[in-house]
Amino acid sequence: MKLSIFNELEFLPALSTLFKELQVPINAVTDSSIDARDILTNTYRDHEPFDLIDEVYFLGMVDDGAFRGKGAIALESVQKIEQDYEGIVIFGVTLDRPNGLLPTRSHLAEISRAFNREFCYTPVVVVFKYADADSEYLAFANTERSKYKRNQEGEKAGKVTLLRDINIQNPHSGHAKILADLKIPTAGKDRVDSFDKLYKYWQKVLDVSLLNKQFYQEVSAWYFHACKQVVFPKDAQGNQESLIRLITRLMFVWFLKEKGLVPDALFDHEDMRSLLKSLEPQESTYYKAILQNLFFATLNTEKDRAFIKRSGSQSHHYMVHNVFRYESYFQEPDQVIDRYFAGIPFLNGGLFECLDIPPQKNKAEPEIRIDGFSDNPKNSLSVPNELFFGDFQDVDLNADFGTSRKKYQVRGLVEIFKSYKFTIAENTPFEEDVALDPELLGQVFENLLAAYNPETQTTARKQTGSFYTPREIVNYMVDESLIAYLKSQLLKENVAFLEVGKKQIDFFGNEYKAGQLTIQEQLNLNPFKGKEAELEQNLRRLLSYTDELHKFTDAEVERLIQALDNCKILDPACGSGAFPMGILQKMVHILSKLDRHNERWKHQQKEREILPVLEDLRQAQKISYEQAREAAVRQLEERLGQIEDDFANNEKDYPRKLFLIENCIYGVDIQPIALQIAKLRCFISLIVEQKVDNSQPNRGILPLPNLETKE
């Protein structure tokens, strides 16, 4: 697919050419742009993301008539359609976000939903074009078709599926494959020759679940093949768990790479050939020198990074894991750290802790080697380079999958990852990327673990991907839990008394005036008393992924935000974080509906910090020593300043997620690596909202909070 036409032609002619290459019959009906307000007459809003819109073009409609060669339909005719119509309306939109920033997924999804609500009787496809400081990009937005329903609360739009950030000059191979698949077949039994067939064909191509399944099948085949090729230290007690750990570590790194926090060069075969002295297929130089140094000496190391220092043949860094090893493997070791590793941020995530343990003093137990992070010549660790960069090869995995005479192929793990597009934003029931999202960390881990455990291995290997709680079930559990909790909070009695002859309400705790007789009448101030069904309906509307406005008063909004901030959520068997991440997403969604600009949420977080410190400040005022008083005041001021920075310098969802993760969501599990994955999914959800700033320490990326010690 030749996307360079978008650099060679104006946007509308380039868009027409693209759809011709996709074999989609469409005739452009206008060559001039239209003001967004004239198109989105009912749905345009004077705030972001709508103020990012630069130009809007109506490309045309694809219906059965277009497949039969009939003429184009004018925009005015499309706008007059007042019943469900078998056709797709296609718009092109150019965006301009200040400061060279790319539009977020939520920006693209909200604009797409606005178009779909405006043209409520026909599905709409929007093709976006935008740029950052370095490149120009395309995005395709397709909204799930559903029957249009008009009611007093507004119109419901289906899930928005996005293929976004497609680099026009140098498209990712995963994007290129999907674009090629969007080209419709025009002959044979699968030919697409009607609107209905086109709609179903594109829905299948853009089906994220099929993409995830294809990826898992490739990774699981690699896993079973690699189990027979690698050698981990004897304390690892087999290769299976070590390989599962390797896969999840590398997958997490891949998500960091999507944020630009890990250089692509570390996964380029040609770059590695020039960086390492040798990269022979059966050697383990890549895993040892690159990946182990990346995992242990970089992502898990906060201080300056350096190679171990030796005195003669002795090293003072025995069992010290925050130093670089395998110096002799590199062609120019004095340059490698600054060039490739210095700009990678510290994470504070347990997944990258080296599991090698030194012998205990005064105890008979020997050292424990699980990861084998050692450049001792006696190190038995072997993970051949071909497992990362090898081409397709035929392998016999019938015994592993419980099949007979089936052909299997595997290729290098890095090559597998490079052929798929990853996204660091977790998909939701409301909007999703046609890419591999962080939920896949949990899916791959839990399914591979099921394939390894004796109790489940037979079923797991045949079903290829069923040992993970489906998102639909998680969403149901999340909604019912939150509705029950918020309903109980809003139904709590606010008991008050009215003193006859006085207008004010005296709450419990007011001082009684001695010698004065009062006549009191108890008041019921709870507006939901006796209206529990209506309250539940309003809460379900609040939780729904629609654009319906909530029906709560300002006072009730305040109570809801306080309830969210004060709630404690515990998943006693959280696995790799399906429920914690699901409830985090939903709570963020609720906050965005209740408090669009984060004003109340910021006030709530300041109150959380101020109240515990107030007593300290009162005590500080009693201290005669001036420095002690100043220190107490300064501590609070610094913390409040940090909260201001969290809100001011990141996307709006960042402080919502940060304080919910720190204060509200808890999980435990019998599998330590599952907990590490759950924590790192929390970290990914935060970095997607953070702005990388190379002038700041750790590139402006806040390390993952110490979640093990939350109270």
At 177-193, the pLDDT tens digits run 999 999 999 998 889 99
Where is pLDDT greater, at 284 or 360?
284
Pick the range with the lowest mean pLDDT from 524-538, 647-661, 697-711. 697-711
Tokens of 224: 């079973």
Which residue ranges make up each domain of the chain? 5-206, 211-463, 531-709
**What average pLDDT does this structure show over 14-27?**
92
> Is residue 5's pLDDT more than 90?
yes
* pLDDT at residue 711 in the model: 47
Residue 503: pLDDT above 50? no
Mean pLDDT of all residues in 208-212: 91
State residue 153's pLDDT score: 43
Residue with more model confidence, 520 or 166 = 166
Please give the distance of CA 117 from its chain centroid, rounded to a whole number.
Answer: 26
By residue count, the chain amounts to 711
49 preceded by a cis bond (ω within 30 of 0): yes
Please give the average per-residue pLDDT across 376-385, as a whole number. Answer: 92
Residue 33, CB-side half-sphere exposure with 13 Å CA sphere: 13
Q: Give the predicted TM-score (pTM) of the model.
A: 0.85
Read off the pLDDT band of 512 (50, 70, 90): very low
- Whether the CB-CB separation of 296 and 322 falls below 8 Å is answered with yes
Specify the range with the lowest mean pLDDT, choosing from 162-166, 313-317, 336-340, 452-456: 313-317
CB atoms within 10 A of CB 165: 24
Helices (H) and strands (E) in the chain, counts: 27, 15
Q: Is the pLDDT of residue 230 over 90?
A: yes
Q: In sequence order, what DSSP letters do the residues of 375-431 get, joined into one string? A: --TT---B--THHHHPPPEEE--HHHHT-SS--EEE--HHHHHHTS-B-SSPP-SSE
Which range has the worst mean pLDDT, 100-114, 147-161, 211-225? 147-161
Strands 53-63, 520-524: pairing is unpaired
Of 455, 457, 449, 453, residue with least CA distance to 399:
457
Dump pLDDT digits (tens) for 613-635: 666 656 656 655 566 667 767 77
Select from 342, 353, 263, 292 the least CA-distant residue to 697: 342
Find out whether 161 and 423 touch, Cβ atoms under 8 Å: no
Q: Which two tokens stand for residue 77?
A: 């005719």
The whole-number pLDDT of residue 218 equals: 97
Q: What are phi and psi of 327, to 5 degrees?
A: -60, -35
Mean pLDDT for the stretch of residues 209-215: 92
Residue with tokens 């509906």, as numbered in its chain: 593
Residue 532, Cβ neighbours under 10 Å: how many? 12
Q: Which of 567, 550, 562 minimizes the C-alpha distance to 478?
A: 567
Compute CA 19 distance to the chain's CA centroid, rounded to the nearest angstrom. 30
CB 59 within 8 A of CB 78: no
What pLDDT does 511 receive? 43
> If 0-12 CB within 10 Å is exposed, 13-18 middle and 19+ buried, where does residue 366 land?
exposed
Q: Which residue has the higher pLDDT, 509 or 231?
A: 231
Partners of 520 in the beta sheet? 499
Integer Cα distance of 453 and 459 in angstroms = 11
Q: How far apart are CA 558 and CA 131, in angstroms?
A: 39
Token pair belonging to 425: 């934003």
C-alpha distances out from residue 667 to 347, 351, 572, 583, Å: 20, 16, 6, 12
Residue 501 pLDDT grade (very low, low, confident, very high; cuts 50, 70, 90) = very low
Question: pLDDT > 70: what percent of the chain?
Answer: 85
Average model confidence (pLDDT) for the chain?
86
Which has more pLDDT, 133 or 515? Answer: 133
pLDDT of amino acid 430? 84
Stronger pLDDT, 145 or 192, i.e. the higher one: 192
Q: What is the share, in percent, of the chain residues with pLDDT greater than 90?
A: 55
- The identity of residue 310, as a single letter, is R
User: 574-591, pLDDT tens digit by residue?
Assistant: 988 999 999 999 999 999
Q: Quick one: pLDDT band at residue 509, thresholds 50, 70, 90?
A: very low
Q: Token match 């030749």: residue?
A: 2
The conformational region for residue 449 under phi > 0 = left, psi -120 to 50 = alpha, else beta, is: alpha
Q: What pLDDT band is residue 366 in, cutting at 50, 70 and 90?
A: confident
pLDDT for the residue 244? 92
Instruction: Please list the residues that pair with 570 across neighbouring strands.
Output: 666
> pLDDT band at residue 152, thresholds of 50, 70 and 90?
very low
Write phi, then psi, for 59 (nearest 5 degrees).
-80, -40
Phi then psi dihedrals of residue 460, to 5 deg? -60, -40
Task: Tell how strand 124-131 and strand 87-95 pair up.
Answer: parallel
Q: Which of 333-337, 496-500, 563-567, 646-650 has the lowest mean pLDDT?
A: 496-500
- CA–CA distance, 220 with 410 (Å, rounded to integer): 10
* 684-698 burial: b if 16+ Cβ within 10 Å, else e: bbbbbbbeeeeeeee
Mean pLDDT confidence for 33-43: 93
CA dihedral of 34, 35, 36, 41, whole degrees rounded to 10: -100
